Amino acid sequence: MRTPAGFECAFFYGDYYRGRSREECRLIGNQPPPNQWKPNLCKSCPVPGILRANACPHMTLQARVESSFLGLVRRVKVSAYCSLSQSVVNEPHVGCGMCHPLPPEFDLKRP
C-alpha cells in the first residue's frame, strides 16, 4: 500500500473506507510513547528502499522508532536477519551475500 510519503510499502496499512482515517505500520506495530509510530515517519523510513532493492524471501526486517536531540528528531531504525545464513544482515539493501555471492572481480580480499 502507498504510504503518506508516496512510497509503496508492504507494511503500511490505511483504512479510508467511508470516511475512516486509520493508518498503521505493521512492521513497527503499536509501541508505547515516546516511540510510537506516526505517519510522518514514513517520509524518511528506509524500509521501502530496502524492499525495492532486496526481495530476498529469507530476510526478515525489524524496525523501531528512535529519538534523538531530546526527542525532537524521530527516525525509523531498521535491522535485518537472514534465516538461511542465520546471521544479522549488516547491509539490508544488499543482503547477507549467501544467495547471491558477488563475482570474484568484486572480492576485495583477493590479491
Interface contacts to ligand SF4, rule CB under 6 A: 3, 9, 11-12, 25, 27-28, 41-42, 45, 47-48, 63, 76
Nearest approach, Cβ of 48 to ligand SF4 (angstroms)? 5
Tell me whether residue 51 or residue 96 sits nearer to ligand SF4 (CB atom). Answer: 51
Looking at the Cβ atoms of 73 and 102, the one nearer to ligand SF4 is 73
Min. distance of Cβ 87 from ligand SF4 in angstroms? 22
User: What is the distance between the alpha carbons of residues 12 and 94, in angstroms, rounded to a whole number?
Assistant: 22
3 exposed, middle or buried (CB, 10 Å; 0-12, 13-18, 19+)? Answer: buried
**Strand locations in the chain (E):** 12-15, 22-25, 59-68, 73-82, 87-89
